[in-house]
């Protein structure tokens, strides 16, 4: 690549050979920067950031049965992890019990299987729910998993107001990028708003949604599209909650976000800084938020799974390190670092521990935590932050013009934009314009042997048997009555989480709850 050849970020922002003060835009960088912990939060949501406390090291884990995942949780906590993050298998995500015909072959495969309160008890066995924070990557069935978590907490003597954690609960991005939806968009939004209202009263310290750009990026979006579409979805959730009569400053402080980290270090840092600034202005100027917490964009980051390569998998250790550094320089509140072997399968214990050690080395040895927003004032980073924000605003305006995120999703606007970006990236790799080490440059003819996480078929069989046994030994009349109450609430306007909790406490399964809602809400069929 010659010095004269044009270079650009992954979002197509042209990079100049050198930057100086003339490149700072009309955004008034001095005013836009502000101080850390103050509007517009460009430099971070807390005044001292990591000088006060490092980001939460929250490694994603979940596979097989509840017992197996419980063991991995304890392994990671003993290795120094500071928060839990749980992955669920596809049947759990899609509202099917382990014994359902459609669950066959998928039980416990890409996450843990949770079908009932019994399973949640085993998952959380001997874990300190009064002190540990737990993130659950779950969407269509998020309200069910949240209530199961609360029920176990209550059995341990931990009140709802003592429980802290996050449910992803972001259904809009499922229609855009990921596909684990059940119900159509509008009844799904009703479920989310019911969850906001329930938690405001019953679990006030729980983050009720993690509005996710991660999966939008994994589907092939650019960095600009990632934050634009994510914040547009956030606007839709705020509008839905307001339309349901909730008070903005009652629910908005518990909104959180989830972003990806890719390899273009400086664009990723600019992306996080621009997202904070943009959300602060949306909440203050568009919605009239007065509580500072309503304007703060707090986010979790996961390193980019789609950037990992099956070729020369050990190279992924370096990719993950660069991505973790970008998240830390960008001011994330919590972080998951991927295992180097995840292009081949679930992470082995060795890979999971090395991923955690990567965070610890970045946090404790790199110096990144010694000062707040280390790249602030860089001509390049400030200019890039301004450009990312400006381009994201253009996308949000286009979505507003279509009637908002739900209407834009129904019209396939976001989906088409992401597919176009993914196609262009793939073509750039094929042409060799975009270099991926080990894939289209610096390749090797011999494959590197890497241990792959084994799939335990016996664990799947044990989970199926446990669900069937539960359905035999429970009080079926109590389950039936509770599910009828849930159906009545779903047909009306009352909050469905209250009868749902009663049903789950009486040992109704996750699949049975989802079936009731399928009957009342319908099932989404994409165009």
Q: What is the pLDDT of residues 124-135, one digit of tens each?
A: 999 999 999 999
CA distances from 53 to 98, 260, 368, 372, 485 (A): 40, 22, 12, 12, 45
The reported pLDDT for the residue numbered 527 is 75
pLDDT in the model for residue 64: 87
Query: Measuring CA to CA, how many Å separate 58 from each of 152, 192, 301, 332, 334?
Result: 21, 24, 10, 12, 6
How big is the chain, counted in residues? 527
- pLDDT score of 459: 84
Q: In this predicted structure, what is the pLDDT of residue 25?
A: 62
Q: What is the DSSP string of 315-353?
A: GHHHHHHHHHHHHHHHT-SEEE---TTTTTSSPPHHHHH
State how far the Cα of 66 lies from the Cα of 45, in Å rounded to an integer: 35
CA distance 87 to 106: 13
Q: How deeply is 20 buried, as exposed, middle or buried, from its count of CB atoms within 10 A (0-12, 13-18, 19+)?
A: exposed
Phi-psi region of 19 (alpha: psi -120 to 50; beta: other; left: phi over 0): beta
Low-confidence ranges of the chain (pLDDT < 70): 1-4, 25-31, 448-449, 453, 455
Domain ranges of the chain: 7-431
Among candidate residues 180, 241, 176, the one with its CA nearest the CA of residue 411:
176
Helix (H) or strand (E) holding 135, with range, is: strand 134-137
Residue with tokens 């094929």: 430
CA distances from 259 to 293, 301, 433 (A): 19, 5, 26
Between CA 311 and CA 325 the distance in angstroms is: 23
Q: What's the token pair of residue 367?
A: 């110096």
For residue 441, the cross-strand partners are 437
DSSP 54: P
- Tokens 């349901």 appear where? 244
Sequence-ordered strand ranges (E) for 398-517:
none
Rg (C-alpha) for the chain, rounded Å, is 23
CA 171 remoteness from chain centre: 11
Other CB atoms within a 10 A radius of the CB of residue 345 amount to 19
Distance separating alpha carbons of residues 212 and 174, to the nearest angstrom = 9
Cα 106 to Cα 102: distance, rounded to the nearest angstrom: 8
Helices then strands (H, E): number in the chain? Answer: 21, 12
User: Cα 103 to the chain's mean position, in Å?
Assistant: 24
pLDDT of residue 29: 47
CB atoms within 10 A of CB 343: 17
Token pair for 522? 């319908």
Strands 209-212, 255-261: parallel, antiparallel or unpaired by DSSP? Answer: parallel
Token code pair at residue 69: 């995942």
pLDDT at 26: 55
β pairing state of 334-336 and 299-303:
parallel
177 within 8 A of 418, measured Cβ to Cβ: yes
CB 247 within 8 A of CB 241: no
Superfamily of domain 7-431: Methylmalonyl-CoA mutase (3.20.20.240)
Question: 197-238 pLDDT, tens per residue?
Answer: 999 999 999 999 999 999 999 999 999 999 999 999 999 999
- Would you state the pLDDT for residue 31? 57
As given in the structure block, the two tokens for residue 238 are 């705020």
346 contacts: CB under 8 Å, gap ≥ 6 = 63, 110, 453
Cβ count near 118 (within 10 Å): 18
The H or E element containing residue 256 is strand 255-261
- Reduce the DSSP state of residue 491 to 3 states and report it: helix
Helix/strand/coil percentages in the chain, nearest 5: 55, 10, 40
Cα separation, 170 vs 140, whole angstroms: 8
For residue 140, give every residue at least 6 positions away whose Cβ sits within 8 Å of its Cβ, in sequence order, or none. 93, 94, 95, 171, 174, 180, 181, 182, 183, 188, 514
Residue 131 and residue 403: Cα distance in Å, rounded? 42
pTM of the entire predicted model: 0.92
C-alpha separations of 481 from 147, 204, 476, 519 in Å: 18, 29, 9, 16
Q: Phi and psi dihedrals of 458, rounded to 5?
A: -65, -35
């Amino acid at each position: 690549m010659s010095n004269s050849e044009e270079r650009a970020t992954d979002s197509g922002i042209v990079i100049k050979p050198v930057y100086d003060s003339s490149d700072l835009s009309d955004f008034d960088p001095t005013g836009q920067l502000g101080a850390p912990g103050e509007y517009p939060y460009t430099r971070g949501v807390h005044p001292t950031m990591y000088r006060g406390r490092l980001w939460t090291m929250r490694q994603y884990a979940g596979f097989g049965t509840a017992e197996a995942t419980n063991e991995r949780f304890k392994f990671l906590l003993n290795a120094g992890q500071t928060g839990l993050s749980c992955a669920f298998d596809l049947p759990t995500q899609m509202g099917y019990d382990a014994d359902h015909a459609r669950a066959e072959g998928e039980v416990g495969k890409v996450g843990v299987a949770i079908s009932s309160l019994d399973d949640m008890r085993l998952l959380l066995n001997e874990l300190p729910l009064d002190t540990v924070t737990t993130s659950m990557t779950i969407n269509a069935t998020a309200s069910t998993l949240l209530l199961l978590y609360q029920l176990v907490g209550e059995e341990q003597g931990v009140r709802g107001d003592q429980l802290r954690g996050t449910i992803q609960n972001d259904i809009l991005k499922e229609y855009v990028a990921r596909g684990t939806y059940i119900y159509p968009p509008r009844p799904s939004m009703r479920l989310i708003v019911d969850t906001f209202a329930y938690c405001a009263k019953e679990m006030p310290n729980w983050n009720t949604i993690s509005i996710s750009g991660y999966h939008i990026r994994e589907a092939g979006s650019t960095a600009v599209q990632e934050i634009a579409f994510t914040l547009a979805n956030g606007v839709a959730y705020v509008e839905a909650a307001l339309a349901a009569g909730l008070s903005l400053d009652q629910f908005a402080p518990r909104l959180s976000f989830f972003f990806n980290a890719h390899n273009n270090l400086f664009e990723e840092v600019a992306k996080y800084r621009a997202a904070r600034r943009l959300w602060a202005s949306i909440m203050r100027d568009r919605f009239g938020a007065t509580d500072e917490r309503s304007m703060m964009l707090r986010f979790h980051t996961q390193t980019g799974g789609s950037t990992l390569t099956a070729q020369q998998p050990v190279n992924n250790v370096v990719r993950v390190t660069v991505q973790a550094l970008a998240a830390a320089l960008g001011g994330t509140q919590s972080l998951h670092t991927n295992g180097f072997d995840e292009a081949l399968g679930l992470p082995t214990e060795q890979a999971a521990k090395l991923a955690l050690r990567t965070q610890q080395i970045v946090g404790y040895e790199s110096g990144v935590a010694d000062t707040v927003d280390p790249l602030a004032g860089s001509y390049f980073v400030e200019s890039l932050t301004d450009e990312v924000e400006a381009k994201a605003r253009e996308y949000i305006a286009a979505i507003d013009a279509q009637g908002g995120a739900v209407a834009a999703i129904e019209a396939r606007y976001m989906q088409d934009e992401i597919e176009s970006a993914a196609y262009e990236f793939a073509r750039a790799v094929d042409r060799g314009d975009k270099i991926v080490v080990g894939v289209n440059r610096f390749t090797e003819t011999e494959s590197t042997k890497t241990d792959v996480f084994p799939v335990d078929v016996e664990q799947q069989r044990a989970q199926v048997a446990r669900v069937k046994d539960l359905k035999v030994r429970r009080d079926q009349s109590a389950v039936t009555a509770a599910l009828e109450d849930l159906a009545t609430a779903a047909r009306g306007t009352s909050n469905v989480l209250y009868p749902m909790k009663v049903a789950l406490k009486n040992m109704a399964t996750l699949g049975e709850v989802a079936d009731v809602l399928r009957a009342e809400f319908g099932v989404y069929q994409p165009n």
